[in-house]
Amino acid sequence: MTQFLPPNLLALFAPRDPIPYVPPIEKHKNHRKLPYTGVAQFLGEFEDPSETPASSRIETREERKARKRKEKQEQANYKLERDLALWNPKKLITGTTNAYNTLFVARMNYDTSEHKLRREFEVYGPIKKIFMIKDAATGKPRGYAFIEFEHERDMHAANKDANGRKIDGHRILTDIERGRTRPDWRPRRLGKGLGKSRSGPSDSRRDERRRDDDRDRDRDRERNRDRDRDRRRRSRSREYRDRRRRSRSREKRRSRDRSREHGRRDRYRRDEMSQYGEYGAEIKAEYNGDY
């Protein structure tokens, strides 16, 4: 077909010239593969093993962590010993004069005012002073206070009755002042202070909580079984209603079919009696069972 094309179109199908030959590029001398040679001529350049310094051992990651942990623990122990030496419970800033009449109130709501605190605790006896602890830098309340009663018996009554009471939505914690009344007492920042409220539940309380959890799981399991049983019962009753509905439908269809069949028979006999004329009475009598 190309032979019938004009010359200008044949030029489009003409083959190109072959690629000219170019000699390959020589590799750089640093990239050339050199033959293997021996190292015997370099043995004299090696160091004497007796003059070589001992290799230093590098600390592993676990050892580095253990070392840093030990250093931090030593620093914390040193700071604790220094603070214990400087700590003097007689110079505590509690704002009260008689430590044996002072009640410690913690876990308070930050919005609780001194007036509200006085109104809640003056039912136990006359209050001499209320000192609410605030942050020295920001002036915001820290959530605990010291209440000094005029009589020691009023303080003990408040400590026994008000512990766990809710004030402004927070359940407070009350205790006697221990900083100036017990010589072996230390605050939490000095390694003590882990009281009953922070030591976690007791063994009996933990066992009771475990029994409650088991009881709740048993109730949930029984409730699920009852729910499945009710679901199966509803499913069976639904299937029974469907079967009754289908059987009634079949009975209705059969009754209609029988009625149609009887109607066709009656029409057929009436047609026969009308067709035979004088013999119609005999056919009718035979049909009615007179013969």
In a domain, 95, yes or no: yes
**How far from 212 is each of 86, 141, 207, 217, CA to CA, in Å?**
48, 38, 9, 9
In a domain, 184, yes or no: yes
Domain count, the chain: 1
> From CA 281, how far away is CA 274, in angstroms rounded?
10
CATH code for the domain of 111: 3.30.70.330
> In this predicted model, what pLDDT tens digit does every residue of 7-23 receive, in sequence order?
898 888 888 899 999 99
- Cα 176 to chain centroid, rounded: 39
Amino acid at 218: D
Q: What is the mean pLDDT of residues 241-257?
A: 79
Phi, psi of 176 (to 5 degrees): -75, 160
In a domain, 129, yes or no: yes
Instruction: Centre a 10 Å sphere on the Cβ of residue 162 and count the other Cβ atoms it contains.
Output: 19
Amino acid at 187: P
Query: Please, which pLDDT band fits residue 273 given cuts at 50, 70 and 90?
Result: low
**4: its two tokens:** 């019938």
Burial class (CB in 10 A: 0-12, 13-18, 19+), 156: middle
Note the helical H segments in 42-113: 61-86
In a domain, 97, yes or no: yes
- Name the one residue in this structure whose structure tokens are 């290799």: 55
Q: Can you count the helices (H) and strands (E) in the chain?
A: 6, 6
pTM: 0.46
- The domain containing residue 114 runs over which residues? 89-190
**32: its two tokens:** 């050339």
In a domain, 182, yes or no: yes
Helix (H) or strand (E) holding 220: helix 203-276
In a domain, 248, yes or no: no
27-31, 65-69, 169-173, 226-230: least confident range: 27-31
77-81, 84-88, 121-125: least confident range: 84-88
Q: What is the mean pLDDT of residues 221-229?
A: 82
- Cα 170 to chain centroid, rounded: 25
In a domain, 250, yes or no: no
In a domain, 233, yes or no: no
117-121, 149-153, 172-176, 188-192: least confident range: 188-192
Averaged confidence pLDDT in the chain: 82
pLDDT of residue 42: 86
